[in-house]
Amino acid sequence: MAEVHTQPAEQSSAPQSSSEEILSIQQRRWRKFRSLKRGYYSLLVLLAAYIVSFFLPLLVNNRALVVHFNGKTYFPAVRDLLDLPIVGQLGGTPFIAGEELGQMGNKSECNYRALKRQYEQEGKGNYVIMPPYPFGPIEDISVEGNEPFMPPLSRTAFGELRLFGTDDRGRDVFARMAYGFQISFSFALLVATLSYLIGVPLGALMGYFGRWFDLLMQRFMEIWGSLPFLFLIIIVVSIVRPSFFVLVLLLVIFSWLGIAQQMRAQFYREKTRDYTAAAISIGVPTWRILLRHILPNSLVPIITFFPFAVVGDIGSLVSLDFLGFGLAPPTPSWGEMVSIGMDNLTNGYWWLVLVPLGALFVTLMLVVFIGEAVREAFDPKTFSRLR
């Protein structure tokens, strides 16, 4: 759906001379969008941040990028690349035990920061290259050197910087915030896209065919819409602890309604237009009328709504996580971070609340700015005040 405005329209018209340039509607929208600086730069920033976030395991991780030990080279962090939710959860990442790399007596996962110090002391030519920010989102107080409630910009006993401090279990707040962005944004994009994939065709069919199908679906949607959805999600979540994708589906089940309603109204309106009647009378097949003729004319309201759907879905996830009914721990999530902060409110650990919520605010603002610009580009309204 969202491609419509990014679709370059080269095929429709070759670039013309500058003054009388003939632009397709998509080109005009894209130009308008680019001229709206706030939205355009928000898009660039967000896009860049999201792309970078796929490489988080190489940037923010407690596993080393490269370990060279006794002539053998290991790449522990690389495996984590496949562990991000949208890429696919391949189960627990098999770890390399500390003993294997020369950490004596450590049968559990290797502590790479300690390993680095160890190799440097030994000076045997073994080396460890850590990611730029050498803390992971999940490692907690059980790892040597991690302490709970370290304030922002403090340093560990070994001199490593904790940008945003640590939480109640000694987990790094910056790392959790960064991974939380990846997860929240992937989650919202997935939920929004899937609910469009369900809502658009259903709404279109309801609007176009009408009759009993419409009537039945309308009653169904009315019932579905009057259900207290957060309530139901919590009931379901308290029975089965959902994985990332189950939670996505749970939200999709409730969020396609609004989109279907919108589409239904659009198709209902477009159906009565002359061009549809013309298409029917010259015998254009129904699927073609739906896809090629009516659909492009009905997409504007729901395309402009897409960013706001993403905003809503991020908000839902954070709220659910905050209540403890979202993603299973220890998944790094903003909502869960805030709830830890709220539990420790009186102790003055302000960063536990402000850091994740700051990240939330910035992300949502960027998306809303994009949404505003998209709306402006698709549906420009010029007001003339007569005085």
Partner 1 sequence: MVEYFIRRLLLTIPTFLGSTFVVFLIVQLAPGGPLEQQIQALKRGGETAGAGLVGEQALPKDAIEELKRFYGFDKPIWQRYLIWLGVWKREAKSYRIKPGVPRLVGDNERLILVKEGESFVLRNAADPSRPIGDWKWRQERDEETGEVRYRVYREAYSGILTGDFGRSYRFRKPVIELIAERLPVSIQFGIISFVLSYAISVYLGVQKALRHNTPFDFATSSAVFMTYSIPGWAIGAVLLVLFATDRFFPIFPLGGFEDPLYTDFSLLEKIWDRAWHFVLPTIAYTAGSFALLTMLMKNSLIETLSQDYIRTAFAKGIREERVIWLHAMRNSIIPITANIGYVIGIFFAGSYLIERVFDIQGIGQLSFEALVARDYPIVFAFTVISVVVTLIGSILSDLALALVDPRIRFK
Positions in the binding site for partner 1 (CB under 8 A): 219, 222-228, 231-232, 234-236, 238-239, 311, 315, 318-319, 322-323, 338, 341-342, 345-346, 348, 350, 353-354, 357, 360-361, 364-365, 367-369, 372, 383-387
- Closest separation between CB of residue 16 and partner 1, Å? 31
Q: Which residue, 33 or 322, is less far from partner 1 as judged by CB?
A: 322
> What are 136's strand-pairing partners?
none
Structure tokens at 296: 């492009």
Q: Which residue, 87 or 345, is less far from partner 1 as judged by CB?
A: 345
SS (H, E, C) 283-342: CCCHHHHHHHHHHHHHHHHHHHHHHHHHHHHHHHHHHHHHHCCCCCCCCCCHHHHHHHHH
Q: Which residue, 31 or 37, is less far from partner 1 as judged by CB?
A: 37
Q: Which residue, 211 or 385, is less far from partner 1 as judged by CB?
A: 385
- Closest separation between CB of residue 102 and partner 1, Å? 44
- Closest separation between CB of residue 255 and partner 1, Å? 16
Structure tokens at 107: 């049968």
CA distances from 81 to 100, 134, 178 (A): 22, 15, 14
In a 13 Å sphere around the CA of 216, the CA atoms on its Cβ side amount to 6
The enclosing H or E element of 176 equals helix 173-209
- Closest separation between CB of residue 227 and partner 1, Å? 5
| Measured distance CA(33)–CA(278) in Å, rounded | 33
Q: Which residue, 10 or 343, is less far from partner 1 as judged by CB?
A: 343
> What are 66's strand-pairing partners?
129
Locus of tokens 């990442």: 93
- Closest separation between CB of residue 177 and partner 1, Å? 14
- Closest separation between CB of residue 332 and partner 1, Å? 17
Q: Which residue, 54 or 229, is less far from partner 1 as judged by CB?
A: 229
Q: Which residue, 129 or 328, is less far from partner 1 as judged by CB?
A: 328
| Measured distance CA(17)–CA(156) in Å, rounded | 63
- Closest separation between CB of residue 219 and partner 1, Å? 7
Q: Quick check: 332 and 176 in contact, CB under 8 A?
A: yes
Helix (H, G, I), strand (E, B) or coil at 117: helix
In a 13 Å sphere around the CA of 238, the CA atoms on its Cβ side amount to 8
